[in-house]
């Protein structure tokens, strides 16, 4: 397959994404590929738990029932190829069911499966190697508590499947952007050592991997999008052989594709933009250029690449006790005080009950007063709040301990301050915690197999093109030279949102907040105002440490902040209301900044 212009649609950003995406994108007769990203760290934890109960599942069931089955005939008619990591922790079972559905419809579509990312069978060898957690340095968990171990592989195995003639490729835990990069390598014949091109393809994959987040979803200027949120169109990338691309969206749909929507998505869930590390390439997005060429069509170029490391990132999930919590609403002029008093009473009573029942203390307790601007029981920004919710949650080594809290907290209803309210329904139940443990594992120790159509699985040879030198040190970035800041004229205080766009996301227990200046001459004031120390102060009620990194992206006049140890463990480990930092950009955008009036016209 060699086309001068490759067209790829992005149909899924997570397990549970809207079911109409595939049908919407297939209205384009000229799409070459549709790619699907279903997997996040949280998803892997959930799928591992599901497979533990039934060895025939453990994949994204929506991919079969809603994305494929209703659209298989159209996929066949348009010759659109499909690449998806919907296989989760059981890609072969996913493919087996899909092949059955294809046969039932009398179609001739070849399905290929990539396996090898599942390292659970090698748990003994891995435990002997005794890797430490790559971010926190914590020790390797108890083998008996481990639920899943999966390596994040890259594009090359998928390319091998396409070269075998696959119409649909199903994988396990590849990196999100690899499904797009593989299509680019396959079509254009890019070499695996042309790292600038591999970085360009990875950037495009990164823009598509979260579906409608690049076409108006979660956009700072949300009121500017066309139509209602249920009408937002899914993204399409029109890619040139040189790696540049136009980002647009499905025809006759709502939403918006603009400099702002694309820039926000580029910064989503990245750390150091000069060192975005992937299995195929070490990406540098700091010089990327984004340009609106016409309505809902945005040109992207300028990614740079270097050789990748000699290791894969591996995601391990393990049992770490149980958690549970509940929301309790309060009305009135002293709503925040009432909520705090109730929360303190609920924790105090359940601690006493644990002692009485001879159970261990809680591993962790969390109180967040939602609606008051306060967190963890503080009174910050709570004046005037007359309707709030106390979100109270705990962790315990056993479900019994969590159950004690849930019973005692709900049992305080008649002993609470006045104004207690809540949605009527069944009492919450304890749920198991599957924590994330990330580590690096040598590529040479991991092998992959390809099972094409119904033929036996065969090994795939992956060439190791690792860098002989280490990438730039994480956490170090040269400061920009903003010596030409205009200090003349009166200053006006505005909200950061008035002069910038923002997007935030998570990586384990870290969060990033990307801020893009609406005009380049505003960035110096953003950089000067929001230092690492200032960011640590703003997010002090979340941070467990004061470590904040700040990175400069001159290509799009942006700054990216990385906050360490800020999510209470992150994902399914966290008791926080926002365990993935999705709202952090909105917190920062609501802060004030002083700007010369002459720059605000």
pLDDT of 375: 46
Contacts of 197 (CB under 8 A, 6+ apart): 184, 188, 190, 191, 242, 243, 305
Query: Alpha-carbon distance 562 to 550, whole Å?
Result: 6
Query: Alpha-carbon distance 450 to 160, whole Å?
Result: 8
3 state SS of 388: strand
Give the number of other Cβ atoms within 10 Å of residue 225's Cβ. 21
Second-level CATH architecture of 318-434: 2-Layer Sandwich (3.30)
Q: Which sequence spans correspond to the domains of the chain?
A: 5-117+152-308, 318-434, 491-599
Looking only at the bridges linking them, the beta strands covering 510-517 and 500-507 are antiparallel
Q: How far apart are the first and last CA of the chain?
A: 51
Please list the rounded mean pLDDT of every run of 10 residues in the chain (601 residues). 92 89 93 95 82 91 96 97 96 97 98 96 93 92 92 97 97 97 98 97 98 97 94 97 98 96 97 96 97 98 96 93 96 93 97 98 96 51 74 97 96 94 85 92 94 90 63 52 74 97 94 97 96 96 93 97 95 91 97 94 76
Query: Alpha-carbon distance 443 to 572, whole Å?
Result: 28
pLDDT of 42: 74
Tell me the β-bridge partners of 255: 226
pLDDT of 380: 43
Cβ atoms of residues 532 and 569 within 8 Å? no
Contacts of 240 (CB under 8 A, 6+ apart): 4, 5
């Amino acid at each position: 397959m060699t086309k001068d212009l490759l067209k790829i649609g992005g149909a899924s950003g997570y397990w549970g994404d809207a079911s109409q995406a595939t049908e919407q994108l297939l209205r384009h007769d000229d799409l070459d590929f549709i790619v699907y990203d279903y997997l996040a760290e949280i998803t892997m934890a959930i799928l591992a738990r599901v497979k533990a109960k039934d060895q025939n599942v453990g994949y994204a069931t929506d991919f079969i029932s809603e994305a494929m089955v209703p659209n298989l005939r159209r996929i066949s008619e348009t010759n659109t190829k499909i690449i998806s990591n919907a296989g989760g922790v059981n890609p072969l079972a996913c493919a087996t069911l899909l092949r059955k559905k294809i046969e039932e419809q009398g179609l001739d579509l070849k399905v290929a499966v990539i396996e090898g990312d599942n390292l659970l069978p090698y748990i003994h060898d891995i435990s002997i190697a005794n890797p430490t957690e790559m971010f926190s340095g914590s020790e390797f968990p108890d083998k008996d508590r481990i639920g899943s171990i999966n390596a994040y592989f890259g594009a090359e195995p998928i390319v091998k499947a396409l070269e075998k003639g696959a119409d649909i490729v199903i994988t396990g835990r590849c990196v999100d952007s690899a499904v797009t990069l593989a299509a680019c390598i396959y079509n254009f014949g890019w070499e695996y050592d042309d790292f600038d091109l591999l970085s360009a393809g990875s950037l495009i994959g990164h823009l598509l991997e979260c579906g409608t987040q690049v076409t108006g979803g979660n956009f700072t200027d949300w009121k500017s999008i066309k139509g209602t949120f249920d009408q937002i169109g899914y993204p399409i990338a029109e890619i040139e052989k040189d790696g540049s691309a136009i980002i647009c969206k499905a025809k006759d749909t709502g939403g918006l594709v603009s400099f702002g929507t694309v820039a926000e998505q580029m910064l989503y869930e990245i750390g150091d933009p000069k060192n975005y590390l992937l299995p195929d390439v070490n990406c540098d997005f700091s010089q990327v250029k984004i340009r609106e060429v016409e309505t809902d069509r945005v040109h992207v170029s300028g990614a740079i690449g270097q050789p990748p490391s000699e290791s894969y990132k591996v995601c391990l999930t393990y049992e770490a006790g149980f958690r549970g919590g509940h929301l309790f609403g309060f009305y009135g002029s002293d709503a925040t005080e009432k909520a705090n008093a109730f929360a303190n009473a609920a924790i105090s009573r359940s601690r006493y009950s644990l002692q009485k029942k001879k159970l261990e203390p809680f591993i962790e307790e969390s109180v967040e007063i939602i609606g008051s601007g306060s967190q963890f029981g503080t009174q910050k920004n709570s004046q005037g709040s007359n309707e709030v919710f106390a979100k109270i949650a705990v962790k315990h080594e056993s479900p019994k301990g969590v159950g004690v809290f849930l019973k005692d907290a709900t049992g305080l209803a008649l002993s609470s301050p006045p104004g207690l309210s809540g949605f009527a329904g069944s009492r919450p139940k304890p749920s198991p915690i599957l924590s994330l443990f990330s580590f690096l594992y040598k590529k040479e120790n991991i092998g992959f197999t390809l099972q094409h159509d119904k033929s036996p699985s065969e090994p795939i040879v992956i060439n190791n093109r690792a860098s002989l030198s280490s990438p730039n040190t994480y956490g170090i970035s040269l400061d920009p030279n903003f010596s030409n800041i205009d200090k003349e004229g009166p200053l006006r205080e505005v909200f950061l949102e008035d002069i910038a766009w923002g997007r935030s996301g998570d990586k384990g227990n870290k969060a990033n907040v990307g801020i893009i200046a609406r005009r380049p001459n505003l960035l110096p004031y953003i950089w000067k105002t929001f230092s690492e120390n200032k960011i640590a102060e703003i997010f002090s009620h979340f941070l467990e440490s004061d470590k904040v990194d700040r990175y400069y992206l001159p290509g799009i006049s942006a700054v990216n902040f990385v906050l360490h140890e800020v999510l209470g463990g992150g994902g399914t480990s966290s008791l926080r209301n926002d365990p993935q930092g999705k709202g952090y950009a909105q917190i920062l955008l609501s802060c004030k900044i002083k700007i010369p009036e002459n720059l605000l016209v």
